Amino acid sequence: MSKSPIDMLSERLTRKLAGFSSRRSFIARLGMALAAAPVLPLLPVARASAADAPKTDFERNAQATDATKCNYWKYCGADGVLCSCCGGGSHTCPPGAEPSPISWIGTCLNPQDHRAYVIAYRDCCGKPACSAGKSCWCDGADRELPTYRSPLNNDIIWCFGNASATYHCSTAAMVGLAN
């Protein structure tokens, strides 16, 4: 069976996750069906429990009421223009854009329940960059790493696998509860 570029990218990223071990089949197999996930899985993300961990600057200033602001809690690792300013929502692409099937992932603290959630940062792709103003251009960097750790970097245009790799805006979907 030949491999699609997406399969190969998933494998590569999986190799990175697994420390170049052979565990790559594990996540690669999980990769394709996120859109159907209805209940939050508990993910094995290393993070001290929220109650006793010191908070990052972002976490101390985060709010949970206005998703069009850079300090909305899910954007702790978001880099780019918020889709919620562009006709979309915090996890919704504006009309005519397409969510990237691949994303990078962060963990953010919800100030309402003081729990840490796993956030999938998916770019919306295939349209010119959204023209929203400067207040919607965010640069969250909590636990963000350089490009040689590509699955953890937010400077990369995460539009792999889309019909067009042009960046339109950034979303943040809550996909799990950090353990």
Active site residue 158: no
Tally Cβ neighbours within 10 Å of residue 4: 10
- Span 87-106, contacts to other proteins by CB under 8 A: 87-99, 101-106
- Span 110-139, contacts to other proteins by CB under 8 A: 118, 120, 122, 124, 126-139
Q: How far is the CB of 25 from other proteins (least distance, A)?
A: 11
Active site residue 123: yes
- Span 29-88, contacts to other proteins by CB under 8 A: 29-47, 54-59, 61, 69-71, 77, 79, 85-88
Query: Around 105, how many Cα atoms within 13 Å sit in the side-chain half-sphere?
Result: 18
Q: Specify the 3-state DSSP secondary structure of 175.
A: strand
- 57, 73, 79, 104: the catalytic one is 104
Nearest to 80 by CA among 162, 166, 154, 147: 154
Query: Around 40, how many Cα atoms within 13 Å sit in the side-chain half-sphere?
Result: 16
Q: How far is the CB of 52 from other proteins (least distance, A)?
A: 13
Distance between CA atoms of residues 143 and 56, nearest Å? 10
- Span 155-174, contacts to other proteins by CB under 8 A: 155-157, 159-160, 163-168, 171, 173-174
